[in-house]
Structure 1
Amino acid sequence: MGYTIGNIYVITTVAVIGGALFGFDIASMSAILGTQQYRCFFNQTGVNDKNECGGPTSSTQGGISAAMPGGSFIGALISGILTDWLGRKTSIQVGSVIWCIGSAISCSSFSIGQLVVGRFINGLSVGILSAQVPVYVAELAQPSKRGTVVGAQQWAITWGILIMFYISYGSSFLDGPSAWRLPWGLQMVPAVFLFFMVFIMPESPRWLAKHDRWEEAHEVLALVHAKGDHNDAFVQTELQEIRDMVEFERQNADASYLDLFKPNMIYRTHIGMFTQIWSQLTGMNVMMLYITYVFGMAGLSGNANLVASSIQYVINVVMTIFALIFIDRWGRRVPLLIGSTLMMTWMFANAGIMASYGKPAPPGGLNNTAEQSWDLSAAPSAAKGVIACTYLFVASFAPTWGPVSWIYPPELYPLRLRGKAVAVSTASNWIFNFALSYFVPPAFENIKWKVYLVFGVFCFAMTVHVFFAFPETAGKTLEDVDTMFNTPGLKAWKTKVEFQHVRKLETGAIQSEKLAALHEERVGSVDKEATAPVSKTEV
């Protein structure tokens, strides 16, 4: 085996470029759909008295936006079969190639149909990568670092959003179709980098073990967890746990998607699926994708709208850092509960402000945009309140549901089902992303500020669901999590983070404690024998 990266943080940095691709798509569409270059090229609604193009109809724009998550839904489902067959690394490379194909079609589009096809193919890539990158890094990471490295997927998404938004913003000053062709072409560059870097990254040791490549599995565990020391105590312990799990699972039938819905697995399946469903129903991606509509209703237009929109992307990047640092100590349950409660607050606040101080926009919407159907321009303070609540919403999502929605699902399932299970969980994310991308533009047009009420109610529902149904998985090996779910009478609200326990396991302290206890027991036995009274029989 040639040179292979062994540092888990470097491995993660490369792998989560797959998450950044999703961020690129969100930001480019958010920044581009409000530009006149895009709206005039794909114009369906005519030109107003200011010679401004109306762009695609709200339903068409919903379809263009929804094409990507629609493809991601299919890609996520395919990824479960792909990753079990080809491995985690090769699946990531396949996703990179598909992304380049989709981007090439999108940036060369001459019709709405071609753009939809390109975005759908991009979606296939994002579906594969968003499902399997978390599985890959989760199976490589030490338990005490698993939350940080899997959560880096979300941080990469936020960086992708931020970088591509500013590239798209800069491109908006170009004339004609170049304003949107350039950013959609440039987004191929990181995918090419990811494809070639994967060649020098290790394969998942658990996937190798599943395919009886035990020497390679041992090599990877030693490389990533002990700088090449094959005899390290934690490496030996983890290798044995993986061996026990593989042998146990082979006593069962081969894994299939149907196994996820059998009585012994349906509980975990529903938790994984709803983690991803609820992350969409928070309304975060709606905020990101259609933020220019929201700020347009708050009275901003043109460059002022784009700059104000970009601030939330900066907030998203910065606030996610807290999760990367503390998520393995915070656990999974507490961030989810706090995050959904805060987001519910900001959603209801936005609804109340808009209902109290706004008024319906003129026919055709503000700035010749039907989706900007509510007018707050006459109440500047209220408009600032909406913008502030939107920023606070993003700040609440970024360290909570954002990273945890990617961290949690790969931790829930046994090895034989993990690839397929995370594929189904991620597919749930994408089908709801698809529905919301299509639903939100007409919703803003028809029910106006009440859109915020809908998402506020969803945030309340997810708070209740998490409290009663989502057990804590932080501070446990993946094999320990499997044992926890097989414990009768499991009550989610009584589970807790076991960070210190798992740190002792990784450093060998637990093995040392066991040896010390055995030594103390032996010494105690000798002392007792030495001080025992001599019986008459012995005399």
Structure 2
Amino acid sequence: MSSAGPVPKRDVEKEANVSHEATSRPGSDRSLDNLDLSAKLQNPLAGRDRGTLEADAISFCETHGLMEYVEDYKKGAVLAAFPHDAEKFDGLTPEEVTALRNEKTNKWKQPWQVYYIAIISSMAAVVQGMDESVVNGAQVFYYARFGIAGNSNTDVLIQGLVNSAPYLCCAVLSCWLTDPINRLIGRRGCIFLSCVIAGLASIWEAFTYSWPQLFVARFVLGLGIGPKSATAPIYTAECSPAPIRGALVMQWQVWTAFGIALGDIISVAFGGIEDNVAWRLMLGSTVVAPIIVCAMIYVAPESPRWYISKGRYVDAHASMLQLRSTPLQAARDLFYTNALLEAEADIQRGRNLALELFRVPRNRRAVKASCLVMFMQQFCGVNVIAYYSTSIFLQAGFSRTSALLVTMGTGLVNWIFAAPAFYTIDTFGRRNLLLTTLPLLAACLLLTGFGFWAPEGPARTGIVTTGIYLFMVFYSPGEGPVPFTYSAEAFPLYIRDLGMSLATAVCWLFNFVLAISFPSLLRAFKPQGAFGWYAAWCMIGWVAILFTLPETKALTLEELDLVFSVPTIRHAKYQLKNSIWHFRRYVLFQRNLKPLAPLYETKDLVSS
């Protein structure tokens, strides 16, 4: 189904004007406020003339000890306020003109430090993927070692508890520590600390001698997973130039998939040695990637935004100089970042952001939408395959060596098919990707489960392998990248960090639920019922997304506020009409139907 259509600019402006009037009245709806807030955050320098901007730049440099760079900041302030008029600006050197032109015509020509930070984030993603997947092969060995390989209720509960321990930690503890850790020691420090914890936990896992010890070691591993998963993409985003920011941040998903594949490869590499050594080497091998990240990030520049938040403007300037091609671009972006932070601080003053997540209707709808896609990322069943595919292949009739090899192929398919998301997520759209792929995921899960009814032998193994591989083909460009991308843009800027923390915690919570419950589910319902369960959730998610999830592709902050100001019931009614229209048009071939009016052209968008 197609999305509701573009948001007309004139309606956004009209609603913003209504918002301005409403905020002056006592008891006005806070959902109206968000239109003005986002307009302010879209460009906090808008509306100032050149003289005012240059005076502000001089004051900024005097206040923060940057007077030797004042000429760059005077020009940079004007360029930040009028980014589309850069080439009309007088007083630029030929080098500066070329650099500004390259932002449009040669956007990949950037200082090497920008790509160095993207590589660090990608390596942190590899750490993440390996920590998630290496247990897939190791569990085949340590179940027997710890005496929990049976099929009793107690054994399957312990199996799920041990495997899910890191995600329990993420949901209840480590995700909520992300913000204070970042405030205290910065983006680099948070990534460094989380990798140290992940590396030490990996060694600890390898030297455990009972399942409670392994559970505790894996729980501590979660302290390294949660903060790193939230911080590394933010670090990349804050250091990257706007023209390539999205592409660099998307590397997190691609290289997490690579880390999952690498974890599977390691399982194959160590799978043929003595049983009590194999699983220890598998779990312990994940110490290597964190060491690499710690060494790399030690010499990387810190986020200029973090330096500004600490009042360290000279350090922020030095950091930005490493991340931009010319001092002018560095001054422009630093001045703009400072103005944005001041606007955010002004907006947040005196507001209880935690309450506003749920009390303000616009924010509440963003919470529901983000939590829905995060929930479906887990309950589409993907991590059943990531964590238990080796055991599933063993039940399908593979030998242990063959099961590890086929599992490795699953990880490689996941990584390879993550690449199309670079194109599809910004062209096909977030909502349409989910609506297209979720039914295909359901079909693949049913094929996998029903394959266990085939006689044991090549037919069963072939059907099960085909179902799981096709599942990863459709997951990688859909439910893989969409939830984190969607959640990162659904919330207004002034509350985005808190909203993203909540969405991430929901993701890890249901990751834990899935990991701990699947062994019991498999025992009670057999593979057919277990895979059928998650196929059913894919279809439930499809219906929920069809009727309640707005599209966020290519929308500005003001447009997003307008979209999320539409009451959910109105959105659902529109999508029901839209579905009927498409059925009549493309199934019944009724060619003379009048197109539906765009959902967001209504005049009364504000809910009570």
User: Which TM class, normalised by the smaller chain length?
Assistant: 0.7 to 0.9
Alpha-carbon distance in 2 for matches of 1:164, 1:262: 43
Which of these residues, 175, 193, 198, is aligned with residue 297 of structure 2? 198
Cα drift, residue 58 of structure 1: 1.8
Within the candidate set 167, 176, 181, 2:280 is matched to 181
Task: Give 1:316-327 correspondences, 5 Å limit.
Answer: 316-327=414-425
- Listed one character per residue, the Cα deviations across residues 131-183 of structure 1 (whole Å, up to 9, x for unaligned) are 22223223334455344323221222221122222222221222243212223
Aligned match for 1:388, one of 466, 487, 490? 466
Distance 2:220 2:564 in 1: 44
Kept after mapping to 2: 8 A contact 1:412/1:482: no
Which residue of structure 2 lines up, in the alignment, with residue 511 of structure 1?
none
| Corresponding residue of 1:455 | 534
Check conservation: 1:83, 1:419, Cα contact below 8 A. Answer: no
Give deviations 1:274-304, integer Å, cap 9, x for gaps.
Answer: 2221100110011111112322232212211
Pair 1:285-2:285 in alignment: no
**Secondary structure of the equivalent of 2:222?**
helix
Tell me the SS of whatever aligns to 1:57: helix
Which of 6, 14, 17 is residue 123 of structure 2 equivalent to?
17
* 8 Å contact kept, 2:139–2:279: no
Measure how far apart 1:208 and its partner are: 4.0
Asked if the contact 1:155–1:317 (Cα under 8 Å) also holds between the matched residues in 2, the reply is: yes
Give the SS at the match of 2:302.
coil
Name the CA distance, whole Å, in 1 between partners of 2:136 and 2:440: 24
The answer as to 2:179 corresponding to 1:80 is: yes
**Alignment root-mean-square deviation, CA:** 3.3
Once the two structures are overlaid, the 10-residue window that deviates more, 113-122 or 12-21, is 12-21
Shift of the 218–412 alpha-carbon distance from structure 1 to 2, 3 Å rule, reads farther
1:28 touches 1:165 (CA, 8 Å); kept in 2? yes
State whether residues 11 and 201 of structure 1, in contact with CA within 8 Å, keep that contact through their aligned partners in structure 2: yes
Q: Deviations over 1:98-121 (max 9, x none)?
A: 112211211111111111111111
Gaps of 5+ in 2: 1-109, 576-608
Shift, 1:272, TM fit: 2.4
Q: Which residue of 1 aligns with 2:517?
A: 439
2:358 corresponds, among 255, 258, 261, to 261
Q: Which moved more, 1:138-147 or 1:91-100?
A: 138-147
Kept after mapping to 1: 8 A contact 2:305/2:337? no
Once the two structures are superposed, the pairs formed by residues 282-361 of structure 1 within 5 Å of their partners are 282-354=380-452, 357-358=453-454
Report percent identity of matched pairs.
24
Q: CA deviation at 1:26?
A: 2.8
- TM-score, length-scaled by structure 1: 0.76
Task: Describe how 1:131-150 pairs up with structure 2 within 5 A.
Answer: 131-150=230-249
Q: Which ranges of structure 1 fall in alignment gaps of 5 or more residues?
A: 47-52, 359-375, 496-539
Letter in 2 for 1:435: V
Deviation, structure 1 residue 14: 0.7
Equivalent-residue separation in structure 2 for 1:206 and 1:144 (angstroms): 18
- Partners of 1:91 and 1:385 lie apart in 2 by 44
CA contact (8 A) 1:223 1:229 kept: no
Please give the per-residue CA displacement for 1:316-342, whole angstroms capped at 9, x wherever unaligned: 111111223553344433323222232
Contact kept in structure 1, 2:550 and 2:564, CA below 8 Å: no
- Superposition deviation, residue 240 in structure 1: 7.4
8 A contact 2:446–2:535 mirrored in 1: yes
User: How many residue pairs were aligned?
Assistant: 459
Q: 1:208 to 1:414 in 2, by over 3 A?
A: farther
Contact 1:69 1:430 in 2 (8 A): yes
For residue 87 of structure 1, report the CA deviation from its aligned partner.
2.6
Question: Shift in Å at residue 223 of structure 1?
Answer: 4.7
SS of equivalent to 1:126: helix
Aligned equivalents of 1:486, 1:19: Cα separation in 2: 34
- Residues 8 and 83 (structure 1), Cα distance of their counterparts in 2 relative to 1, 3 Å cut: same
User: 1:470 matched to which residue of 2?
Assistant: 549
Measure the CA separation in 1 of the matches of 2:311 and 2:380.
Answer: 42
Aligned equivalents of 1:377, 1:323: Cα separation in 2? 37
Q: Distance in 2 between matches of 1:275 and 1:222?
A: 38
